[in-house]
Amino acid sequence: MENLREIIYKHALINAVTHDGRASAAAVLKKLVMEVKGFKEILRNKDERERVREIIHEIVSEVNSISIELQKKILAEKYGITLEMIKEEKAKKTREGLPPLPGADKVKKVITRFAPAPSGALHIGQIVRAAFISFLYARMYNGKFILRIEDTDPRRIRAVYYDWIINDLKEVGIEWDELVYESDHFEIYYELTEKLFKKGKAYVCLCSSEEFRKYREQKTPCPHRDSMDDPIYWEKMLSGEFKEGEAVVRLKTDMSHKNPAVRDPPLLRIIESVPHPRTGYKYRVYPLYNYACAIEDHLSGVTHVIRGKEHETNEAVQREIYKAFGWSPPITIQYGMIKLPEAKIHKRHIRAALREGKITGWDDVTLPTVRALLRRGIHPEAFKRMAIELSVAKSDATLSLETLYSINRQILSSIAKRISFVDNPFTMIISGVIKDVVKISMPWIPEKKEAGAREYVLRTEEKNGTRMLSVYIAEQDIPLIKQVLREDRLIRLKEFANVKIEKVDVENRLITADFHSFEVVPGIRKIHWVPGGELAIQARVLMPDGSIKEGLVEFLAQSLEDGEYVQLERFGFGRVDSNQGELIIFTFAHP
C-alpha cells in the first residue's frame, strides 16, 4: 500500500498544478483507475475501496495545503515532472484526429480565438467547429486560446447571454487563457478611426443603403467620399450632430474591385435606440462586425482564425482593413458549413419560436443548443470527440444528430445508471409464484460492479389458493406479448422470472400470466418491467420532438439526483431533469 500512496501523491500533485493548486480527489481516483494496472481489482473489495478513498482524501488535503509553487517544486524534484511536460502530454493526446495546423511553425506562439456574440445560447454548430477546433489547436501547440465576446450591436445582444456563453463553454470543457469584451475597447476603435481619417482612408457617408447600393453596382464613388473625409465629420458623428441611420463611416477602397462587398465597406454606425448591456448610453457610435473583428484580432495577436467558409466575404473586407492600417493579417483556415436536417440551427429561428411561445426556453429539449443537448443527456466529452471527427474539412457536411448520438452512446454505456421505465403501462398479474417472497437484484451499471445494484423484495399475495403478484409492462411490448401468446411460448421478465402469457385484455390494459421458472431459459425474448403497487412511481420523459411520455418508473429511481445520466431499460439514454419524489421527470437523449 505504501507504493500506492506514492502513486496517489504523484497524481495529486499533477492534478493540483494543472488546476490552480487545487487537486480533486475524484479526478485522482479516475486517473488511478485508468492508468494503474490492477487498480480496478483493488476496488472490487469493499473494505479496500474505502481504505483507498480515505488515503486519496488524506493525500489530496495534504497537497492542497501547500502553495502551488511548492507543489511544482516537489513534482519536479521528486518525480522529474514539470508543468510544461504535463501540457505537452495533453497536447499529444489532443493531436489525435486533427491535421497539422498550417503555418504553426512560422509563428512564435499559436494564438486562436472563439468570438461569439451574446445574441443567444450557443448551438452545436458553433461548439463543434469554431469553439472546439480553435481551442484544441491552441492546446495542441501549447499556444493561447482567447474567448472574445462580440458585443458591439446593442440591438441584438442581451445581458443574460454573456453568462450563458461562459457557462456553456465551461460545461463542455473549454477553458480560455484570456477573456476579452469588445465593448471595453470603444475608445480604441475611436482612436484608430481618427487615424484612418487623418490618413485619408475613411469618410462619413450620408447615403441611404439603397443609394449607396447603386454607386457600388455602378463602381463609382458616392458624393461624400472626397467631400466628407475630413476628421471634423468624424467628430460630428461622435458629438451627436448626425442621428441614427443618417451617417456611417466607410473605408476608402477600390470602387472597381471585383468583389462588390469590398467596395467602400462600412466600418461604424450610430445606434441610439437602445442602451448597451455593459456601457448603457455612454457610446452612440458602434463598430460593425468586420471592423471590430479585424482590430481585435490585431490587438490580441491572433495568428490563426478558424472560421466557416461562409465568412469569405468578411475575410476579404477585413483584409482591406488590415491593409489600411498597415498590419499583417492572421492565417485563415476555413471549414465547410454544418447542416442539420433535423433542426433549425440559426438563432433567428430560435428567437422567433421563443417569442411565439413555441418553446419554453433556449434549453428546450427540441433545440440543438448546447444547453438543450446537455440537458437531454449529451455528455460534454461527446462534443469534443465530434469536433475531432469533423475536423476542418472544407466541404459542407450534412450532419445527422445520430453521429453525436453514436459517440454519446459509447460514453454513457459505462456510466449511465440503468432504471426501468414503462410508458402507458399495462398491469400484468402473475399467478402460481412458488415463493412467498422474491428477492430481486439488478445492477445499476452492468459494467461496474462497484456501482452496486437495485434490490427489491417482492411479496406475493395469496388468492384462491395460488400466490400472485403484479408488475407493470410498457405498452410498446404488447405486440411482442401477443406474438408470444399466439406461439404458446415463454417470455422473460428481465432479471426476474419466465412466465407464460394466458390473456391480453387491451381494453382494460390487463395481462394475465402464469409463473414458469426463475432460471434463465435460452432463446426466449426478454422485456423490462416495473414492480407493482407502491414500488412504482409516476414518471415523465421529455422527448426531443416536444412530446411527453407518461408512465411509471421503479421505486429506487427516487435515489437518483437531478442531472444524473440514466439508461431507461430498452427505451433510451437520458438524464434526470427533476426528481420530485412522487414524480421523476427525465429527458430523452437518444436510443
Each residue of 505-562: pLDDT tens digit?
Answer: 999 999 999 999 999 988 899 999 999 999 999 999 999 999 999 999 999 999 999 9
Q: What is the reported pLDDT for 583?
A: 97
Mind listing the pLDDT tens digit for each residue in 465-498? 899 999 999 999 999 999 999 999 999 999 999 9
**What average pLDDT does the segment 222-227 reach?**
96
| CA 404 from centroid of its chain's CA atoms | 11
pTM for the model stands at 0.80
Residue 353 has pLDDT above 90, yes or no: no
Which of 52-56, 384-388, 575-579 has the least mean pLDDT? 52-56
Q: How far is CA 203 from CA 213, 221, 272, 419, 486, in A?
A: 17, 11, 21, 67, 85
Q: What is the CATH number of domain 186-293?
A: 3.90.800.10
Q: What is the reported pLDDT for 7?
A: 86
Return the beta strands (E) in 271-382 as ranges.
285-287, 304-308, 331-335, 338-339
Residue 3 has pLDDT above 80, yes or no: no
Q: What is the reported pLDDT for 206?
A: 97
Comparison of pLDDT for 337 and 557, the residue scoring more: 557
**What average pLDDT does the segment 417-434 reach?**
97
**What average pLDDT does the segment 194-209 reach?**
97
For residue 566 the three cell numbers come to 440514466
Residues contacting 337, CB < 8 A, separation 6+: 308, 309, 310, 396, 397
Pairing mode, strands 421-423 and 417-419: unpaired
Residue 343 has pLDDT above 70, yes or no: no
Domain ranges of the chain: 2-81, 186-293, 418-590
Look over the chain and give the mean of its residue pLDDT values, rounded to a whole number.
92
Backbone phi, then psi, for 326, in 5-degree steps? 80, 25
**What average pLDDT does the segment 390-416 reach?**
84
- CB-side neighbour CA atoms (13 Å) of 78: 13
Q: Residue 294's closest CA among 321, 262, 260, 263?
A: 321
Q: What is the reported pLDDT for 376?
A: 97
Mind listing the pLDDT tens digit for each residue in 88-135? 676 655 555 688 999 999 999 999 999 999 999 999 989 988 999 999
- CB-side neighbour CA atoms (13 Å) of 141: 25
Local confidence band at 179 (pLDDT 50, 70, 90 cut-offs)? very high
Q: What is the reported pLDDT for 95?
A: 53
Return the beta strands (E) in 309-371 as ranges.
331-335, 338-339
Buried-state track 378-388, b at ≥16 Cβ within 10 A, e below 16: bbbebbbbbbb
Q: What is the reported pLDDT for 516?
A: 96
Give dist(CA 382, CA 80) in Å, integer.
Answer: 33
Q: What is the reported pLDDT for 94?
A: 53
Q: What is the reported pLDDT for 86?
A: 80
Local confidence band at 228 (pLDDT 50, 70, 90 cut-offs)? very high
The fold for domain 418-590 equals: Ribosomal Protein L25; Chain P (2.40.240)
Q: Residue 158's closest CA among 18, 355, 19?
A: 355
Give dist(CA 370, CA 344) in Å, integer.
Answer: 14
Asked if 219 contacts 263 with a C-beta cutoff of 8 angstroms, the reply is yes
Its sign, for the CA torsion 412, 415, 420, 424, is negative
Q: What is the reported pLDDT for 97?
A: 67
Q: Identity (one letter) of the amino acid at 1?
A: M
**What average pLDDT does the segment 367-374 reach?**
94
Q: What is the reported pLDDT for 341?
A: 65
